[in-house]
Amino acid sequence: MKTDAILIKNFTLQQLEDWVESVGERRFRARQLYRHLYVRRIRSWDECSDLSKSFQAQLEFGTVLDALSLEEKRTSSDGTVKYLFGLSDGRRIESVLIPDPPRYTLCLSSQVGCALSCRFCLTGTVGFQRNLSAAEIVDQVCRVQQEAGNRFRISNLVFMGMGEPLANYEAVSNAVHILCDPNGMAFSHRRITVSTAGLVPQMERLGRDSPVNLAVSLHAPEDGLRSELMPVNRTYSLGDLLNACRRYPLAPRKRITFEYLLLDGVNDQPRHAKALVKLLHGVKAKVNLIPFNSYPGSEFRRPSEERILAFQEILTGAQLTALVRQSRGFEIGAACGQLAALGKDDPSSRGETEAGHGFFSLPG
């Protein structure tokens, strides 16, 4: 990366207006830049014929246009695509595209690795390396759409890739702001979902700041079990988490999505389903049940279909909306919890390892 160069995609429109003014240009240039970056998806500044040569040169030498580079693309037989991106410091992240025409959902990473150490999550084994910048988040969308060309348009975004989005709040919030700006990619807030393992203060802040959809990774209905599976529960208990969910501001027809990973013999018994019903009482909720698919070294296994359906029946019998999400991209290890930024030559990334779409699911 160029020394002292700025990541141009870090800027919201207002910040970009301030910047172009600071370098001697008029503020309306910022809207032109937004169109070039996010509508035309330019690959170099010399494509911008409406900018003066001197401003193009200033942009060329003073800014970084692409915050990441596409190193590898792998496609599953079901159409799921996993992208391996390289960052300027040599680190890597992954994004996953789930095609379900006319809906095309891109799963975004927000950190390199993750610090939460959930026992069922391969990403957690990488450890936490650093937060992504807003530019590195936004550029995942830009590069995938750039690569797709006019074949399709990304319609939905989910922050369910590598990392805990709310642990990188400022960058994620700025990225959402940029993605939704009508002068650029113009995503609707209704088409963006931010997932969290339960960082309560940041959840409350998100509820005040943005009308995006919220998904909560729950995975257990009891504090003892959840603390074993998800160490974050030792800081923010289920009581704290569910109280925050009850207070969360929702539009009349919106609900919070609760992700529940079904682990054979661990959290998939009828008593767990009944406890989940009780736990979600009074919450505007829908539940995504995600049967686990094992990966090398995992201590967990997928429950039987009979047990999965029995669990769902208890929830629906109590008038909870509960959907069983099917695996996607299992051949290429394309699950959010199984993203470890591994290339195809790494043994643990190969299809025969059973690494599958274990608990990434699309909110309804």
Q: What is the three-class DSSP state of 257? A: strand
Q: Do the domains 68-353 and 6-64 match in fold?
A: no
Q: What is the pTM of this model?
A: 0.91
Q: Is residue 336 flagged as an active site residue?
A: yes
pLDDT confidence of residue 236:
98
Domain boundaries, given as residue ranges, for the chain: 6-64, 68-353
pLDDT confidence of residue 294:
77
CATH superfamily, domain 68-353, is Aldolase class I (3.20.20.70)
User: DSSP characters for 16-59?
Assistant: HHHHHHHTT--TTHHHHHHHHHHTS--SSGGG-TTS-HHHHHHH
Q: Can you say whether the dihedral through the CA atoms of 260, 266, 269, 272 is positive or negative?
A: negative
> Which residue in the list 107, 121, 142, 336 is annotated as catalytic?
336
204-241 residue pLDDT tens: 999 999 999 999 999 999 999 999 999 999 999 999 99
> Which residue in the list 94, 136, 164, 331 is annotated as catalytic?
94
Cα–Cα distance for residue pair 157/205, rounded to 1 Å: 20
pLDDT at 243 over 50: yes
Average of per-residue pLDDT across 62-91 = 95
User: CATH assignment of 6-64?
Assistant: 1.10.150.530
pLDDT confidence of residue 123:
81
On whether the CB atoms of residues 114 and 162 are closer than 8 A, the answer is: yes
Average of per-residue pLDDT across 300-320 = 97
Q: Is residue 228 flagged as an active site residue?
A: no
Which two structure tokens, joined as six digits, stand for 344? 């195809």
**Residue that wins the pLDDT comparison between 360 and 67:** 67
153-204 residue pLDDT tens: 999 999 999 999 999 999 999 999 999 999 999 999 999 999 999 999 999 9
Band of residue 124 on the pLDDT scale cut at 50, 70, 90 = confident
The pairing of beta strand 192-196 with beta strand 68-75 = unpaired
211-215, 311-315, 327-331: the lowest-pLDDT one: 327-331
Cα–Cα distance for residue pair 186/188, rounded to 1 Å: 6
**Residue that wins the pLDDT comparison between 352 and 77:** 77
